[in-house]
Amino acid sequence: MYGRAGNTVPHERMRVSFCTDLDKSVLVNNFEKRGWTQVSPDDDWNFYWASVQTCRNIFSVDSGYRMHDNQMINHFPNHYELSRKDLLVKNIKRYRKDLEREGNPLAERSEPTAAGAPRYVYLDFVPITFVLPADYNMFVEEYRKNPQSTWIMKPCGKSQGAGIFLINKLSKLKRWSREAKGPFHQQLSKESYVISKYIDNPLLIGGKKFDLRLYVLVTSFRPLKAYLFKQGFCRFCTVKYDTSVTELDNMYVHLTNVSVQKHGGEYNNLHGGKWSVQNLALYLEGTRGKEVTDRLFGSIAWLIVHSLRAVAPVMASDRHCFECYGYDIIIDNNLKPWLVEVNASPSLTSTTVTDRILKYKLIDNILSVVLPPDGVPDVRWNKIPSADALGNFDLLLDEELAAQEEQAQNAQPSTKGRGGGNRWK
C-alpha cells in the first residue's frame, strides 16, 4: 500500500518527495518551498506528514512495511502513551513510583496535611486524576475527603472539548453512569473517561480563564531529545469566569478550546481569543514581577521534560520518527502550572492572520530541526541540529549531548562547583 524510497541515490542528485494526509497550506507551502515534489502514499516518498491512523497502519505488524534510511514520518508508533489522557496519567504515576522506589530525591513528598495525602514536592504537575470506570471506588474515597470540590470528566480518546462536563455532586456522576448504560448510549458505556480535580482557582486576565498551547518537538525518546517552540499562545474563554453552580454547564466559561469558543456569541474573529506567550510574560512581569515570571516558565519547562521522561521507557523510539506535540497547560492564581493534556496532532488550521504566520513558521522550523543539514531525510544522521537550524525552538533536553558534556567534564581534573549531568540544556 505504501510506497518506498530506495536509499541508493546519492544525496546531491536526490529529489525529495513528500506526501501528506492533511490538505493544509502551511504544510504544502513549506514542502514546496524546499523544492520537494508531492506524490501519493502509494508512490516512493521520503517524507510523510501523516494522520495518526496512517502511522499506525504503516507500523502495524500486518502491513509488513519496512521503512528505508531516507524516509521520515511525523508520529511515533505508540504516541498515544503520551496523548491519551488515561495513559498519560498512568505513565506519570508509574514514573513517580519508580523514582520513589529508587530513593531518588525527585520523588520527595510533603508531609500529609488535614486536607489530604502528602503531595509530590517536585512532580506535582497533574491534577488528581482517576480513570473511570476502573478507579471508581478510589475516586469516591478521594471525593469524600472534600465533597465541596468540582471535578471535570473527559473521554479518554476524544479531543477539541468533545464530551467534557463538570460535576460537583456524586449523584450527577451516578446519574450519568446510569444513562450511559441505557440502550441509547451503548457506545458511552464502553468508553473510558478520566475524572480530574478541576483547577477552580485559575489565573484570570480580564476576568477570563485561559490556558497555554505550547508546541514541543521530540526527535528521539531514547536518548530523549526535546525542543520547545518559543511562540506558543494563550487561548481565552469568551465569557468571564464564574464558579457558581448555575454556570457549571456553561462551557464558554470553563473550556478554552477554540473549537468550543468559536461558536460563542462573544468570539472575536480578529484575534481569535488568542494572546502570545510573549505578551503573557510581559503582563506577568508587570503585575507579579520578573522573578516569579521566570520561575513559572522554568516550572513549565520542568513539567514538559518530566512528562516526556515518564513515557520515554514505553515509547517505541523509531529512528524514522519525530513528533510535534501540543501541550495544554493551565496556570493557577499561585502561578503554578498544571498539565491538562497533550495532543499528538495539534491543529494546523489557522483562525487568524497571526495564527497562519505562527503555524507556517512552526512547520518551517520543525523541518529545519528534524532534517540533516543537506535537507534530505536520513536516519543515519545523529539528530544534533546546529544552533542556526533551531530557529524559534529552544533546546529543552538532549540526553546524548548532556552525557557527552558530563563525560568531558569527568575527564577533566576535579574543579569545585562543577556542573553535573542534571542540566536541561
Pairing of strands 204-205, 193-197: unpaired
For residue 336, give the amino acid letter.
K
Asked if residue 9 has pLDDT above 90, the reply is no
C-alpha cell at 153: 470528566
Q: % helix / strand / coil in the chain, to the nearest 5?
A: 35, 20, 45
* Dist CA 58 CA 65 (whole Å): 6
Q: Which residue is listed with cell 513528533?
A: 323
What pLDDT, in 10s, does the model give residues 211-222? 999 999 999 999
C-alpha cell at 83: 496523548
When pLDDT is averaged across residues 300-326 and rounded to a whole number, the result is 96
Q: What is the reported pLDDT for 242?
A: 73
When pLDDT is averaged across residues 129-137 and rounded to a whole number, the result is 88
Quick one: what percent of the chain has pLDDT higher than 90? 57
Q: Measuring CA to CA, which residue among 16, 10, 13, 24 is closest to residue 347?
A: 24
**Within 10 A of 51 (CB to CB), how many other CB atoms are there?**
15
* Dist CA 398 CA 392 (whole Å): 17
| SS3 (DSSP) at 135 | coil
C-alpha cell at 239: 465569557
When pLDDT is averaged across residues 401-415 and rounded to a whole number, the result is 80
Asked if residue 17 has pLDDT above 50, the reply is yes
In this structure, the chain runs to a length of: 425
* Dist CA 406 CA 351 (whole Å): 45
Q: What is the reported pLDDT for 68?
A: 94
Q: Which of 205-209, 290-294, 355-359 has the highest mean pLDDT?
A: 290-294
| Torsion (CA) 85, 86, 91, 92 in degrees, nearest 10 | 60
Asked if residue 310 has pLDDT above 70, the reply is yes
What pLDDT, in 10s, does the model give residues 36-93? 999 999 999 999 999 999 999 999 888 878 899 999 999 999 999 999 989 999 999 9
Pairing of strands 37-38, 17-20: parallel
| SS3 (DSSP) at 166 | strand
User: Is 421 or 255 the better-scoring residue by pLDDT?
Assistant: 255
Contact 152, 126 (CB under 8 A): no
User: Is 375 or 351 the better-scoring residue by pLDDT?
Assistant: 375
Asked if residue 259 has pLDDT above 60, the reply is no
pLDDT tier, 420 (very low <50, low <70, confident <90, very high otherwise): very low
pLDDT tier, 159 (very low <50, low <70, confident <90, very high otherwise): low
Q: DSSP code of 226?
A: E
Q: What is the reported pLDDT for 419?
A: 40
Contact 315, 82 (CB under 8 A): yes
pLDDT tier, 158 (very low <50, low <70, confident <90, very high otherwise): low
In the sheet with 47-49, reading across from the earlier edge strand, the strands are: 37-38, 17-20, 47-49, 72-73
Q: What is the reported pLDDT for 62?
A: 83
> What distance separates the 2 farthest-apart alpha carbons in the chain?
73
Instruction: Please tell me whether the peptide bond between 372 and the residue prior to it is cis, using omega within 30 degrees of 0.
Output: no
What pLDDT, in 10s, does the model give residues 174-209? 777 776 654 434 444 456 888 999 888 999 988 888
Supply the pTM of this predicted model.
0.87
Spell out a b/e string for 352-379, using b for 16 or more CB atoms within 10 Å of the CB, else e. eebbeebbbbbbbbbbbbbbbeeebbbb
Asked if residue 418 has pLDDT above 70, the reply is no
C-alpha cell at 317: 523510539
Q: Mean pLDDT in the chain? A: 84
Which of 1-15, 319-333, 356-370 is predicted with the least confidence, judged by mean pLDDT? 1-15
Q: What is the reported pLDDT for 269?
A: 53
Q: DSSP code of 291?
A: H
When pLDDT is averaged across residues 115-138 and rounded to a whole number, the result is 87
Which of 28-32, 277-281, 363-367, 402-406 is predicted with the least confidence, judged by mean pLDDT? 402-406
Domains of the chain by range and CATH?
17-77 (no CATH), 128-198 (3.30.1490)
Quick one: what percent of the chain has pLDDT higher than 70? 81
Helix (H) or strand (E) holding 305: helix 290-311
| SS3 (DSSP) at 229 | strand
Instruction: Please tell me whether the peptide bond between 105 and the residue prior to it is cis, using omega within 30 degrees of 0.
Output: no
Asked if residue 260 has pLDDT above 50, the reply is no
- Name the region of 273 (left: φ>0; alpha: ψ -120 to 50; beta: rest): left
| SS3 (DSSP) at 92 | helix
Distances (CA, A) of 411 to 151, 223, 287, 417: 53, 22, 46, 16
Helix (H) or strand (E) holding 397: strand 393-398
When pLDDT is averaged across residues 132-143 and rounded to a whole number, the result is 88
Q: What is the reported pLDDT for 156?
A: 81
